[in-house]
Homo-oligomer: A and B are copies of this chain.
């Protein structure tokens, strides 16, 4: 089982490393961070660099493809080499997955046409503009396509995937060993739960209209 985590300039670190940490513990899995070129790739805050150990060409047919998001997912969406690699990898993948605005990259590659999918809550309109209606769920399975909500949701997605791939006991083992027993001191992790003023502020700052995802009206 080969897992490829795509890196591109200004990716969001936890989008990649959250699910990586869990999925890479799959017995027998071989995991690679891949990018156009080998070497360090800087994140959206510029203070972190993850090393791509393989080029895209060196990992042409992974079983699991994972695309992290970032505030500038355009970097990947506008890169023909990345889109071509994604389409080719998807042709033989068992799972094609994304976290956060990584789904915009999958959509830009044409892989989400007619599918159920999601993205970061502030990127719903961008996903719609690519012809895909966001569901607003945290983790969305549609066949082999698995998309998840913002940043930290990739950890939940990874647990779901581990269960589907290797069974409940393996998923529970990984949850136990990573002590994923979340106890956030606030309950502000979604636009439905956060203080309305905060949500409105961020919608205004980012120029996003207040439109609900399908099925939440």
Interface residues of A (CB under 8 A from B): 12-14, 17-18, 20-21, 24-25, 30-33, 40, 45, 47-51, 53, 100, 120-122, 138-139, 149-153, 155-156, 159-160, 163, 168-169, 171-173, 175-191, 193-195, 198-199, 202
Query: Are B202 and A186 in contact, CB atoms less than 8 angstroms apart?
Result: no
**A179–B152 touching, CB < 8 Å:** yes
Residue of B nearest to A193 (CB): B181
Across the interface, A31 reaches (CB within 8 A) one of B24, B47, B177, namely: B47
5 A-B pairs (CB sep. < 8 Å): A17-B17, A40-B40, A48-B51, A120-B179, A176-B194
Take A169-B198, A171-B186 as given contacts and tell me if A21 and B13 are in contact as well, using a CB distance cutoff of 8 Å. yes
Q: Complex formed: what's the CA distance from A48 to B45 in Å?
A: 19
Q: Are B186 and A198 in contact, CB atoms less than 8 angstroms apart?
A: no
What is the CA–CA distance of A12 and B179 in the complex, to the nearest angstrom?
A: 13
A159 lies within 8 A of B185 (CB): yes
Q: Are B14 and A21 in contact (CB under 8 A)?
A: yes
Are B159 and A179 in contact, CB atoms less than 8 angstroms apart? no
Contact of A149 among B12, B138, B153, B179 (CB under 8 A): B179
B198 and A172 form a contact (CB under 8 A): yes
| Interface core residue of A18, A139, A176, A183 (most chain B CB under 10 Å) | A176
The distance from the CB of A109 to the nearest CB of chain B, in whole angstroms, is: 23
A150's nearest neighbour on chain B, judged by CB, is B179
Partner of A171, one of B49, B175, B185: B185
Distance between A138 CB and nearest chain B CB, rounded to angstroms: 5
Given contacts A17-B17, A155-B184, A176-B199, 20 further A-B contacts (CB under 8 A): A12-B21, A13-B17, A24-B45, A31-B45, A31-B48, A49-B50, A50-B51, A149-B181, A150-B177, A152-B178, A153-B179, A156-B183, A160-B185, A171-B186, A173-B188, A175-B189, A176-B191, A179-B189, A181-B187, A181-B189
